[in-house]
Structure 1
Amino acid sequence: MQRVPVGSGHLFFRQGDITTLACDAVVNAANSRLAGGGGVDGAIHRAAGIADLRRACEAIIAEIGSLPPGRAVLTPGFDLPARYIIHTVGPVWRGGKDNEPALLRDAYLNSLRLAHDNDIRTIAFPAISCGVYGYPVEAAARIALTALREGLEAGLVAEAGMVLHGAAAHATWADAAEEVL
C-alpha cells in the first residue's frame, strides 16, 4: 500500500477488494435507486448482507425518491469490516458534455463532506464511474485525486484512499497521483 501525506492527513492507494478493508467507511459506487447491481456495488451488497443493506437503502429511497449523481448518503456497514457505507452515484460518461467532470468531483467531495459530518476519519473509495458507467479512467483518476487532495487539505477526514481492482488500474491511478499530488 502506498501512503502519501496530504495536508494533515494521508492519501493511500492499494490494489484489492474494498469489501475487506477495515476502516470507518467504504464508498459504494451506487446506482440512483441504491438497488445493488454489478461490480463494486454488487460486491458491497453481498459482503454487507443483502437483506440488511437492501432494507436500509429502500428506506432512504422511500424518503428521497432517488439519489442523483454527485450526491451521497450513509448506511451502516452491517457485515463489512467498515462501520459505514457511503453510497454515491457517479455520472454515466456521455462524452463529457453533460457536466460529467463536475458530477464526478461532487461524488467524491460530497462523500468526504458526509464523512466529516458523521465523524468518519478513514474512508476508502473505488474508482467511481469507471466500470459500466464508462468514464475514461485517466480523466476520472485526475478528478478523483484532486477532490481527495482538496478534502484532505480541508481536514474533512484524516485518511482517504483508493482501493483499485487489478494491477493496471492501480498503475493508472499511481501515475495520475504523480501528476495531481
Structure 2
Amino acid sequence: MAIETKIDLVKGDITKLQVDAVVNAANSSLMGGGGVDGAIHRAGGPSILEECRKIVAMRGGCKTGHAVITTGGNLPAEFVIHTVGPVWKGGGNGEEKSLADCYRNSLSLAADNACKSIAFPNISTGIYGFPKDKAAKVAVETVTAFIKTTDTIEKVVFVCFDQENFEILSRFLANISIR
C-alpha cells in the first residue's frame, strides 16, 4: 500500500470528532438507545433516525457483526456507520469473531464510501459486557490487519469515554508499529 494509516487514541466525546465517519455501537433495531448510540442519535439529530427507519423497513434492522451507513446529520462527521456488537455470553459463542466482524465491516463501509478517517468507540464493552481487555485486543488486531489492505483509510481513531478503556487500548497500541 502506498500510504501508511495513522492510528490515534483519544479520550473524549466521539460526537465531536472531525472525521469522515464515526462508528455507532448500535442495537439491532437501529432506533437509538443508551451509551454511545444515544449520544450519536441526540447529537446527530433526526435525519439519522429517519435513515435508520428506512434501513429497517428495507432489511429489518442490522444483525450482530454487520454494519450499515447513514448521514452524519448534525455531527461534524459526514457519515455514521452503525454496527451491532455482540453481547458477551462467556466467550464460547463466537463473540470475538462477531466483534472482529463489526470492525471489519465498518472499515469496509468506510472505504467503500471514500472515507479517509474513521473513529471507533469501544464496541460491546458497556452494557453488552464484553471484557474490555479482550475487546481491545480484537479491535487493535482487526483494525491493523484491515488497514494493511487499503489505501483509502488514512486515519483511524479509537475514542474512549472512560479512563479504563483508554489505558487498556494504550497498552495494546504501544505494541504495534503503525502509529
| TM, length-normalised to structure 2 | 0.94
Which residue does 1:165 correspond to in 2?
161
Q: Deviations over 1:43-86 (max 9, x none)?
A: 0000000x222111000011111211111100000100000000
Distance 2:69 2:38 in 1: 17
Distance 1:74 1:87 in 2: 6
Tell me, yes or no, if structure 1 residue 141 matches structure 2 residue 136. Answer: yes
- The Cα of 1:179 is off from its aligned counterpart by 3.9
Tell me, yes or no, if structure 1 residue 82 matches structure 2 residue 77. Answer: yes
| TM, length-normalised to structure 1 | 0.93
Contact 1:91 1:129 in 2 (8 A): yes
Structure 2: tracts of 5 or more residues without a match: none
Which residue does 1:115 correspond to in 2?
110
- The Cα of 1:180 is off from its aligned counterpart by 5.2
Contact 1:14 1:163 in 2 (8 A): yes
Q: Partner amino acid for 1:173? A: L
Contact 1:142 1:177 in 2 (8 A): no
Distance 2:128 2:171 in 1: 22
Q: Secondary structure of the residue that 2:68 maps to in structure 1?
A: strand
Residue from 39, 43, 46 that aligns with 1:43 = 39
Distance 1:105 1:180 in 2: 17
Which residue does 1:99 correspond to in 2?
94
- The Cα of 1:142 is off from its aligned counterpart by 0.3
Which residue does 1:130 correspond to in 2?
125
Distance 1:69 1:100 in 2: 9
- The Cα of 1:130 is off from its aligned counterpart by 0.4
Q: Secondary structure of the residue that 1:134 maps to in structure 2?
A: coil
Structure 1: tracts of 5 or more residues without a match: 1-6
Tell me, yes or no, if structure 1 residue 178 matches structure 2 residue 169. Answer: no
Q: What is the root-mean-square deviation in Å for CA atoms of aligned residues?
A: 1.2
- Cα distance, 1:13–1:43 mapped onto 2, change above 3 Å: same
Which residue does 1:18 correspond to in 2?
14
- The Cα of 1:141 is off from its aligned counterpart by 0.1
Q: Give the share of equivalent positions with the same residue, in percent.
A: 43
Tell me, yes or no, if structure 1 residue 65 matches structure 2 residue 60. Answer: yes
Distance 1:141 1:180 in 2: 13
